[in-house]
Structure 1
């Protein structure tokens, strides 16, 4: 069947009846992770909430005051997932999340238009498309596009928008001869009911189940952001339609203003200013590394030149790195000295290095890694190094002190090594 949302894509509210309500579970994304939610699958006599299909995501909305979290199609039925049970036979007042719906209508109709003209103008067939949350992508059956083609395509699709080209929906039976004349990638196996044709006057007739605008003027504008290499000798065309173009421009302008304030230059000079800053940062980083290496040598030499030094050296430096620790260990020499070094600050993961006589390192390496709540690894020599995960503030200082105390106590207990 064709749902009410397919018969009239602009209806935002609708009254229908609850046919069934069965317990169900659904995996929903929450904070980047999927978690199971218990609820109910509800089937209605009809619906204005579009179930996922044709490359278009499903609608969101409400049945009364109950949020609809997912809408899927099962044969000729639309299944609405909600967290509260609804009484079978009761009246159901539906309301569509119109901002989401209209956005999907703009992107989907825009895709039909771009697909049709890319084929007509350049012979590029569409093999798939994706309606993304921020931008949409059409996969073209070509390894590359020629210079100037996307600019010409963008001009052509926007001219069709300026021409106020009508878009109509036809419902045809499967055996209607007209079905064979329309563009299609095939019907789903569980399709039931009439065939739905989206006809952009004079441009394209395409079999589709999705929701669409009634006139291309409702698309406002299409912006082709560019192309990129796709899979299997395909090219991905990236585009925005309507309100997404406005939001993209607003975000771009906001970013431009922020960069102007930070860089103290006009928008036309932003790229050059950032390039200069990056080069300056590279020079400073190189100088800093050289200074850090020199400092490591001096630290080691000061320890070696100290007549009252023992056989245990420990140090933490937040701006150090692996090379800094290696230089100190190599300069001190670890045949008769235990060296315990840590680097890193509160903003990121730290590193540690424990090196010295084999008998000490083999016993203490795993214990130090455990104390630092991190992972340790045995090196080629008598070295234990690793990446602690608990490396912030007082917690880091406490763990560091505990580790050095354990190492010092173990060093004193090894009389034979002394």
Structure 2
């Protein structure tokens, strides 16, 4: 069966009736996480909401004012997942999220066009494709593309768009000899009804269930962003079509404008300016590390040279690291001295090091780890992730412990 969304891809509102509505559940993606929700599986007499399939995501919209969260195909039927029930036999009005649909139409028809010309021009077959949220990709059956090929492909694709070539939908019976002449990656196991052929006049005829533009001019423009290495000696071609190109240009200009303000250079000089900054940062970081190491040695020597130094040393340095703490501990020596060091910013996670006589570290270490780890896990080589906001409290705890006489006096 062909749904109304497949018979007229441009229809944005439609009246139909409820065939059934039963409790069900569906897995929905939310901010990169998949949540399983309970709701209702709704079947309609017909629908303008496209069910996920053929590499194309499902449509969004409302049925009888109720938001449709997902649409899946089950054989010849479309199942709409909704949050609240509708009555069987009820007349309902469907409203389509047109912006989402038209975006999908542009990307899908764009994929057909790119696929056809990549094959015709270079013999690169398409093995799969993905309609992403921001950009789409086509997997080409080639380990690599030659220099200049993607530029030539992009030029040819946009030439076809400017030629206003019509795109038509033909329905063929499964035993029609014409089916054998069209491009296809095969039918799904639960396919039912006629075969749907998307025909780009003089360019391509492809078996497809998705929604498409009626003329290549509706694609506006296609931009091939580049290629990247795919799986199993394949190449992924990355592209955007139609409105996505306009959004990409707007976003790119915004970034360019911001960089111009930050770098105080023209757009053509951004790369050189950032390269110089990165080299300067590396030099400064290297100098900073040298200074920190020298500072660690001086801090340790200063403590060792104090006549009244005692047997406890504590220090916090927000710019330090593991090596900074290790140098201090090793220079002071922890056979007779308890050393408590912390590094990191005053907010957020940091590290602390506890070193000293084995009996003290053995008793105090696990206690401190339990009270300061902030969910970072068990202690490791006596270095414990911690929030440095707790530094003062931990320092006082240790000071009280040492003052009380060591093992056996921890409260």
TM band (smaller chain): over 0.9
Report deviation, 1:45: 0.1
In 2: Cα distance, 1:361 partner to 1:106 partner: 66
What residue number does 2:349 align with? 349
What residue number does 1:408 align with? 399
Report deviation, 1:295: 1.5
Question: Per the alignment, in what secondary structure is the counterpart of residue 297 of structure 2?
Answer: helix
Report deviation, 1:30: 2.8
CA RMSD of aligned residues (A): 1.5
Report deviation, 1:84: 1.0
Report deviation, 1:309: 1.1
What residue number does 2:85 align with? 85
Does the CA contact (< 8 Å) of 2:360 and 2:407 recur in 1? no
Runs of at least 5 residues in structure 1 that lack an aligned partner in the other structure: none
Report deviation, 1:275: 0.6
Runs of at least 5 residues in structure 2 that lack an aligned partner in the other structure: none
What residue number does 1:10 align with? 10
Question: Per the alignment, in what secondary structure is the counterpart of residue 379 of structure 2?
Answer: strand
What residue number does 1:387 align with? 385
What residue number does 1:358 align with? 358
Report deviation, 1:413: 2.3
Quick one: which of 366, 376, 379 aligns to 1:377? 379
In 2: Cα distance, 1:415 partner to 1:242 partner: 73
Does the CA contact (< 8 Å) of 2:353 and 2:384 recur in 1? yes
Does the CA contact (< 8 Å) of 1:372 and 1:400 recur in 2? no
Shift of the 112–16 alpha-carbon distance from structure 1 to 2, 3 Å rule, reads same
What residue number does 2:258 align with? 258
Report deviation, 1:404: 2.4
What residue number does 2:127 align with? 127
Q: Pick which of 401-410 and 362-371 moved more.
A: 401-410
Report deviation, 1:386: 2.0
Report deviation, 1:37: 2.0
How do 1:51-90 and structure 2 match up within 5 A? Answer: 51-90=51-90
Shift of the 348–401 alpha-carbon distance from structure 1 to 2, 3 Å rule, reads closer
Does the CA contact (< 8 Å) of 1:360 and 1:410 recur in 2? no
TM-score computed with the length of structure 2 as normaliser: 0.96
How do 1:99-110 and structure 2 match up within 5 A? Answer: 99-110=99-110
How do 1:215-364 and structure 2 match up within 5 A? Answer: 215-346=215-346, 348-364=348-364
Shift of the 70–378 alpha-carbon distance from structure 1 to 2, 3 Å rule, reads closer
In 1: Cα distance, 2:159 partner to 2:365 partner: 71
Report deviation, 1:346: 4.0
Shift of the 414–348 alpha-carbon distance from structure 1 to 2, 3 Å rule, reads closer
TM-score computed with the length of structure 1 as normaliser: 0.94
Report deviation, 1:36: 2.5
Question: Per the alignment, in what secondary structure is the counterpart of residue 377 of structure 1?
Answer: coil
Shift of the 235–407 alpha-carbon distance from structure 1 to 2, 3 Å rule, reads same
